[in-house]
Amino acid sequence: MFNVPKRYISVKALYETVPKTEKQLDVINGWVRSVRLLKKVAFIDLYDGSTNRDVKVVIKEPEESDVVKSLKTGQCLTIHSPILKLTNGSRTQAFELLVENPTKNLQVLGHVTEHYPLQKKGHSLEFLRTLPTLKYRTLYYGSLLRFRSHMEEYFINFFNKQENMLKVSPPIFTVNDCEGAGEQFLVNSPVLQDKETFLTVSTQLHLEILSTAVSNCWTLSPCFRAEKSATPRHLMEFWMLEAELSFITSLDELISFTKRFLQSIVTQCYENQDSLLTDQIPTLINKPEILLKWEMLRDLDNWKTISYTEAIKILTEQHKKQPFPRYEPQWGEPLQTEHEKWLAGSHFKSPVFVTDYPKDCKAFYMKLNDDKNTVACFDLLVPEMGEIIGGSLREDNYNTLQYEMQRRNMNKDGELDWYLEMRQQGGAPHGGFGLGFERFISYLLGVSNIKDTIPFPRSANSSISL
């Protein structure tokens, strides 16, 4: 059994509580990021993952200790009685930890083999992605884990605390296909009864049930789509944030709520920028660029809202001037990513809500507008990425919904009767939105491959090793 005392200070706590005077600490634990061995002194950059920062450890009389002489990147260490020494050092670390008598005070908890693949030098993301058990020890992947964790706090702060909405857990197993796209995973087991059971593609239909009991609710829940696309934008398994609100009757109200949500989350990010962002990996996380983006996202007053029909008009004019490479914009067709990116990125140079799409471009549950051709929905398009949030009012008229389901050849075996009947039993006008959590993280941090924003990504055409 290793001899690690019970109380140790995390690197995060160390930075938060740096005293004004020198002080002997009890214990610090962590992993070796890099080591430099000189004659009279050795330097270690140590990290423990509690923060984006490493801590510099200075070891006196390294020659006396075999442990110090054989220090290697990746080893797990426990350090007893380090002395916190104030330095006139850089902005990033105004102190260092001094270790005297390393033979006694420095212990290796976990060794590494000669083939330990992470070294001080930067590795390519392609290489790191082949190391699912080790990549989170790098500053880049570690900082993404920490960001994701903080985001979950910010969601609770907004939905539960500010908006008094309930966090709920809709089911993963379902017999319905909410989006009607047929991209579901089938589950097999002898304990499952008669019906074919699938993994949910969206929790929305179940959220609607719950919102009709508690007014307003939200979830952050895994969803699964058996899409064949193996792109940097797609995951088979991802976490979806969905919110559903009763008593809203206009798209404007839903759009204001969505803006309030974004403003809250981005403001929380902005206020915690020092702990969320790091200066040390500028090629991957460009702090000034991210802060500019966050400032744009907080500046909601400048965001335009246009209808799909207006969007098509703008796109068609642009297409005449300079054709889009792959798709000609056409009323009645979905907006393509190239259109979305151009609208937000080049035309408006800001996020833009596009509303009231043709009903055949969207799912069956969206509320039909008075024109009978379009539905009360929006897509929020952002520069660089295109669509990031989709929302709609839900059809609350029984007859209209029934007709639409028939028109789409749905509900032939009455499998969605329960959904229809909710419109007859004390239904409320309602609506909501959905947002892929990994996509949101990718966008906020400028991460080019969505696979890097979730631990252990599951995506098409890549086999699962653990």
Rounded-to-integer distance, Cα 380 and Cα 330, Å: 19
- Residue 419 touches a second copy, criterion: CB under 8 A: yes
DSSP character string of 59-74: EE-GGG-HHHHT--TT
Neighbours of 437 (CB within 10 A): 21
Q: Which residue is it, tokens 């981005």? A: 266
The residue range among 72-80, 303-311, 317-325, 334-342 that interacts with a second copy, by the rule CB under 8 A, is 72-80
Contact (Cβ atoms closer than 8 angstroms) between residue 444 and residue 293: yes
Query: Cβ(198)–Cβ(177) under 8 Å?
Result: yes
> In this chain, which of 168, 269, 290, 447 binds a second copy, going by CB under 8 A?
168
Q: According to the binding rule CB under 8 A, does residue 156 interact with a second copy?
A: yes
In degrees, rounded to 5, the angle at the alpha carbon of residue 44 between the alpha carbons of residues 38 and 47 is 170
- Lookup: tokens for 200: 């949910």
Q: Which residues pair with 42 in a beta bridge?
A: 37, 59
Q: From the CB of 212, what's the least distance to a second copy, in Å?
A: 7
Choosing from 122, 334, 427, 446, the residue that interacts with a second copy (CB under 8 A) is 427
Q: Does 148 bind a second copy (CB under 8 A)?
A: yes
> 300 with 264: CB under 8 angstroms?
no
Q: Is 12 in the site for a second copy (CB under 8 A)?
A: yes
What tokens does 306 get? Answer: 């246009």
The set of residues, in sequence order, having a beta carbon less than 8 Å from that of 460 and lying 6+ positions away, is 226, 227, 228, 229, 230, 234, 236
Using CB under 8 A, which of the segments 86-94, 169-177, 343-351, 404-412 binds a second copy? 169-177
Is residue 38 part of the contact set for a second copy (CB under 8 A)?
no
Q: Contact letters (x/-) for a second copy, 100-139, by CB under 8 A?
A: ---------xxxxx--x---------------xxx-xx--
Residue 186 found at the interface with a second copy (CB under 8 A): yes
| 300 in contact with a second copy (CB under 8 A) | no
Size of the site for a second copy (CB under 8 A): 117
Q: Which of residues 225-284 bind a second copy (CB under 8 A)?
A: 226-228, 236-237, 239, 246-250, 253
Q: Does 189 bind a second copy (CB under 8 A)?
A: yes
Q: Which of residues 209-228 bind a second copy (CB under 8 A)?
A: 209-210, 212-217, 221-222, 224, 226-228
Minimum separation from the CB atom of position 379 to a second copy (A): 21
CB of 14 to a second copy, least distance (A): 12
Closest CB to a second copy among residues 87, 399: 399
In degrees and rounded to multiples of 5, residue 363 shows phi and psi of -75, 160
| Number of Cα atoms under 13 Å in the Cβ half of residue 133 | 5
Closer by beta carbon to a second copy, 9 or else 344: 9
Compute and round to an integer the Cα radius of gyration of the chain: 27
Nearer to a second copy, 145 or 291 (CB): 145
